[in-house]
A and B are shown apart, each in its own frame.
Chain A
Amino acid sequence: MSTKGTSDAKDAENGASKGPSDAKRAESPHGTNALPEHVLEEIRELPARYPQHRSAVMPALDLAQEEVGYLTPEAMSEVAAALDLDPGYVEGVATFYTLFHLQPIGRHRFYVCTNLSCSLRGSSEIVEHVKKAIGVREAGEVSKDGLFSYEEVECLGACEYAPMMRLDHEYYYDLTPETITALVVERRAPLSAAAKASRRRTPVAAPDKAPPKKRVPRTKKIG
């Protein structure tokens, strides 16, 4: 599968070119843990907010994902331990929802809406253009610099502005190839304002270890 191929390639690349944050990652600030102590602390405080502690699982996975970039098996089991839940249960929840990523994703992820209203107004050209602009062949593939990936998603609830997409916690409306190019250029520029503004605390890179191999494919089907 090409996704795996590319993440391997990205591994090598990360090893070669260490940005400041990559270096930080390499010396592993939180020891063997996938999640640093302050995040775990935050997670342990979550259940008090809900009538039952189970409800904390999604906000907790959110925190973990924001920290690591995507949900590694280690991160999920640490979430499970912090919430006193079964690891399998936590993983079951994570696999159900599309906003939890079980594979490495680009630091900036394009969620391009391709549902009916957007398709009727040209979202397929937008998808083609996104692919070209960030240099990937298919959805989920991470660009060589680790900065971008894209995904075709279902209706994002802003159909009057079609074609539209979500990127870095913002909606972008009335897309044209030019807006896409501009957004990509803006995010490529090193230390651009946009990159700083990005909410993610650590860069999203593949782990130093081999990428998770026998992950269940991300699907909502149980059968």
Chain B
Amino acid sequence: MAELRGSFGEARNHLLTRWFGTEDLHRLDVYESKAGGYTALRKALLDMKPAELVNEVKTSGLRGRGGAGFATGVKWSFINRDAPGPKYVVVNADESEPGTSKDRYIMENSPHMLLEGIMIAAYAVGANQAWVYIRGEYDGPHRMLVEAIAEARAKGYLGPKPMGVNYPLDIQLYRGHGAYICGEETALLESLEGKRAQPRSRPPFPAVKGAWGRPTLLNNVETLSTVPWIINNGGAAYVKFGTEKSPGTRLMSVSGNVRKPGVYEVELGQTFRHVIMELAGGPPDGRELKVFWPGGSSAPVLPASMLDTHTDMEALAAARSMGGSGGVIVMDDSHCVVKAAARLLRFYAHESCGKCTPCRVGSDWAVRTFDRILANEGSQVELGILERVADGLQNGRCLCGLGDSAGWVIDSTFRHFREEYEDHALRHTRARWWSRRPSSSASRSRSSATTTSSTRSAPAVSAWSSSPRDRRAHRQAARRRSPKEWW
């Protein structure tokens, strides 16, 4: 395995990562003997009632780490444990949010911690069968889970009588096949059912009608991996970490222009200055931090001036962003925000499932507009289009969160980096060869910024007098001049 980059070892705030880095921690015997593994499962099955488990998680105040931050204990209590028929626990291991690698970090280092969490959750909500939906590209973590499940079966922890208790448990793996949208909970369920992964409209919520029409508990890998600690130490101990409304710790994968990228376990309520500058070592020598995404690419960006924002969800909401998936992408001043936004929009356009129009059409439209701006063909019109598209993608106009995320990228970069957009869209316009056309045509919307610099030297031809062929040639020339490389 590659060298570990991130948190491990003894520290006050290392609840999950305390034993990471221990040799062979992925093996069941090591997990049990060194890391005190499966004590929580034993306690849950032998000493606690399912309702007590749910209450313990409620007391802990644990909130989902997959993106939305919904209270986990409350989610567990939505499932009617006594309803007849099968119920399922589905684990969201489809981590594909750009900038996020924490679930991989957990599964590679301590797969049994995840399995233990899943088993406790299954017992708490009355499910006998759990499914781990793991993204198809994660071959390594998949292998580890396969081995871990085999070990747990051999040991009897999975099977008809785990720990001697008459409560059959089983965990199965299901591999995704490369679609970001499968991370969205209802799309994941569709995919698990063998369909195209297009989100369902809610209600009914998965807790009522989830996988194969049955009540389903859907949680993220990190959320479930935290559960054994909570059961071992009690919900009240968990609340001692973090802030009042966002208790505990979370894994933040810091990537991009930092000296020590890695997955760090951070007590919620710490500042991003601590995370980016201290844990991850800050930007490389001679560079300044420019902007960071605090919770994966879907979380609205924050400029360097907001580095002292706290990591808890309330503070982030106040800063008009969100905790999201905990992936912190850091960009230094040698990179361009517009290009970064354009790259992310390409991602969202590519991953849009196509079910609803604002997202399907809007994201493509934004990509084309960004392309024009980056090819030095931008103007105020393009900026207007971007703003309109961003608005059209947000505020519940789309069925799922992907549309909102795409809108937020444009919206937040506009909010904090308006000048950079204008610079990109307009500076080239000024230098464009047709900027010396007679001022009578200045009323055309494209030109508002161009007429001011008519004194600049420019070829004597006017665009409006030349043939369409000439104009096309000039456009192509402009494209050739524009940087081919994105970065």
Asked if A37 CB lies within 8 Å of chain B CBs, one says no
Q: Which of A19-27, A119-127, A135-143, A204-212 contacts B (4 or more CB under 8 A)?
A: A119-127
B99 x A159 contact (CB < 8 A): yes
Chain B residues whose C-beta falls within 8 Å of the C-beta of A223 in the assembled complex: 354, 357, 360-361
Contact of B194 among A58, A98, A171, A221 (CB under 8 A): A58
Contact of B101 among A58, A99, A124, A160 (CB under 8 A): A160
Question: A97 — nearest CB in chain B belongs to which residue?
Answer: B177
Asked if A191 CB lies within 8 Å of chain B CBs, one says no
Given contacts A111-B137, A220-B179, contact A122 B262 (CB under 8 A): no
Given contacts A93-B194, A116-B329, A160-B254, contact A166 B137 (CB under 8 A): yes
Q: Which of A4-12, A28-36, A46-54, A178-186 contacts B (4 or more CB under 8 A)?
A: A46-54
A116 x B340 contact (CB < 8 A): yes
Chain B residues whose C-beta falls within 8 Å of the C-beta of A115 in the assembled complex: 98-99, 297, 343, 347
Chain B residues whose C-beta falls within 8 Å of the C-beta of A120 in the assembled complex: 256-257, 329, 331, 335, 340, 487
A157 x B101 contact (CB < 8 A): yes
Contact of B177 among A54, A98, A153, A171 (CB under 8 A): A98
Chain B residues whose C-beta falls within 8 Å of the C-beta of A49 in the assembled complex: 172
Q: Which A residues between 49 and 108 are near B, CB-CB below 8 angstroms?
A: 49-52, 54-59, 62, 92-93, 96-100
B198: min CB distance to chain A, Å: 8
Given contacts A58-B194, A154-B347, contact A162 B261 (CB under 8 A): yes
Asked if A133 CB lies within 8 Å of chain B CBs, one says no
Q: Give the complex CA separation of A103 and B6 in angstroms.
A: 39
Tell me the total A-B contact number using a CB cutoff of 8 A. 166
Asked if B60 CB lies within 8 Å of chain A CBs, one says no
Asked if B96 CB lies within 8 Å of chain A CBs, one says yes
Question: A57 — nearest CB in chain B belongs to which residue?
Answer: B194
Asked if B197 CB lies within 8 Å of chain A CBs, one says yes
A119 x B254 contact (CB < 8 A): no
Q: Give the complex CA separation of A161 and B172 in angstroms.
A: 29
Task: Give the interface residue-count category, chain A.
Answer: 35 or more
Q: Which B residues between 160 and 192 are near A, CB-CB below 8 angstroms?
A: 172, 174-180, 191-192
B175: min CB distance to chain A, Å: 7
Chain B residues whose C-beta falls within 8 Å of the C-beta of A216 in the assembled complex: none
Chain A residues whose C-beta falls within 8 Å of the C-beta of B352 in the assembled complex: 220-221
Chain A residues whose C-beta falls within 8 Å of the C-beta of B103 in the assembled complex: 157
Chain B residues whose C-beta falls within 8 Å of the C-beta of A3 in the assembled complex: none
Question: A49 — nearest CB in chain B belongs to which residue?
Answer: B172
B137 x A157 contact (CB < 8 A): yes
Asked if B320 CB lies within 8 Å of chain A CBs, one says no
Chain A residues whose C-beta falls within 8 Å of the C-beta of B361 in the assembled complex: 223
Q: Give the complex CA separation of A55 and B195 in angstroms.
A: 8
Asked if B26 CB lies within 8 Å of chain A CBs, one says no
Q: Which A residues between 177 and 223 are near B, CB-CB below 8 angstroms?
A: 220-223
Count the B residues whose beta carbon is within 8 Å of the partner chain — how many?
A: 67
Q: Give the complex CA separation of A160 and B340 in angstroms.
A: 18
Contact of A159 among B195, B261, B331, B347 (CB under 8 A): B261
Contact of A54 among B101, B195, B257, B293 (CB under 8 A): B195
A187: min CB distance to chain B, Å: 17
A98 x B178 contact (CB < 8 A): yes
Q: Give the complex CA separation of A95 and B448 in angstroms.
A: 45
Q: Give the complex CA separation of A171 and B211 in angstroms.
A: 31
Chain A residues whose C-beta falls within 8 Å of the C-beta of B261 in the assembled complex: 117, 159-162
Given contacts A117-B99, A122-B487, contact A154 B256 (CB under 8 A): no
Q: Give the complex CA separation of A222 and B100 in angstroms.
A: 28
Contact of B196 among A96, A114, A116 (CB under 8 A): A96
B343: min CB distance to chain A, Å: 6
Asked if B415 CB lies within 8 Å of chain A CBs, one says no
Chain A residues whose C-beta falls within 8 Å of the C-beta of B335 in the assembled complex: 120
Given contacts A162-B261, A170-B139, contact A52 B487 (CB under 8 A): no
Q: Which B residues between 247 and 287 are near A, CB-CB below 8 angstroms?
A: 253-257, 261-263
Contact of B98 among A62, A154, A169, A171 (CB under 8 A): A154
A99 x B137 contact (CB < 8 A): yes
Asked if B322 CB lies within 8 Å of chain A CBs, one says no
A44: min CB distance to chain B, Å: 15
A160 x B262 contact (CB < 8 A): yes
B109: min CB distance to chain A, Å: 13
Q: Give the complex CA separation of A52 and B174 in angstroms.
A: 14
Q: Give the complex CA separation of A79 and B92 in angstroms.
A: 27
Q: Which B residues between 92 and 106 are near A, CB-CB below 8 angstroms?
A: 95-101, 103-104
B98 x A116 contact (CB < 8 A): yes
B149: min CB distance to chain A, Å: 14
Q: Give the complex CA separation of A120 and B261 in angstroms.
A: 12
Determine which residue in B98, B100, B263 has the highest number of CB atoms from chain A within 10 A of its CB, and name it. B98
Q: Give the complex CA separation of A57 and B175 in angstroms.
A: 12
Q: Which B residues between 190 and 241 are near A, CB-CB below 8 angstroms?
A: 191-197, 211-212, 214
Q: Give the complex CA separation of A76 and B228 in angstroms.
A: 43
Asked if A175 CB lies within 8 Å of chain B CBs, one says no
Contact of B2 among A100, A117, A161 (CB under 8 A): A161
Asked if A39 CB lies within 8 Å of chain B CBs, one says no
Q: Give the complex CA separation of A96 and B197 in angstroms.
A: 8
Asked if B151 CB lies within 8 Å of chain A CBs, one says no
| 23 contacting pairs across A/B (C-beta < 8 A) | A52-B194, A54-B193, A55-B193, A55-B212, A93-B195, A96-B197, A98-B177, A115-B98, A116-B99, A116-B343, A117-B261, A119-B343, A119-B486, A120-B487, A154-B350, A157-B100, A158-B104, A159-B98, A159-B261, A160-B5, A160-B253, A161-B2, A223-B360
- The 4 A-B residue pairs whose C-beta atoms are closest, nearest first, are A159-B255, A97-B177, A98-B178, A54-B194
Given contacts A58-B175, A119-B343, 14 further A-B contacts (CB under 8 A): A56-B194, A99-B136, A116-B99, A117-B99, A117-B256, A124-B485, A153-B137, A154-B96, A155-B97, A157-B135, A158-B104, A159-B99, A159-B329, A173-B2
Interface residues of A, Cβ cutoff 8 Å to B: 49-52, 54-59, 62, 92-93, 96-100, 111, 114-117, 119-122, 124, 153-162, 166, 169-171, 173, 220-223
